[in-house]
Amino acid sequence: MSFCDPWPAPAKINLFLHIVGRRPDGFHRLQTVFQFVDWCDWLSFEIDDSGVISRHGGLEHVPEEADLTVRAARLLQA
């Protein structure tokens, strides 16, 4: 198993956020103005030979199949 250096997930403040519709895939179309701030979460990854993508820590109330980070990782894996 190998570990990757942590990656920052920058924070932002939405100054304006308006839902302007819905896309065919169910996600909302947004119109927004935002400002990045000097805060971030840090994401760390462990890589092994199993090919399994899973999440550890935080967000217990969000199922893995609804977590956009997990979904993106699985799409990149495919």
Question: Could you report the per-residue pLDDT of 12-62, keeping only the tens digit for each?
Answer: 999 999 999 999 999 999 999 999 999 999 888 888 888 888 888 777 898
Instruction: Enter the pTM of the model.
Output: 0.56
Counting Cα atoms < 13 Å in the Cβ hemisphere of 12 gives: 10
Neighbour tally for 9: CB within 10 Å: 11
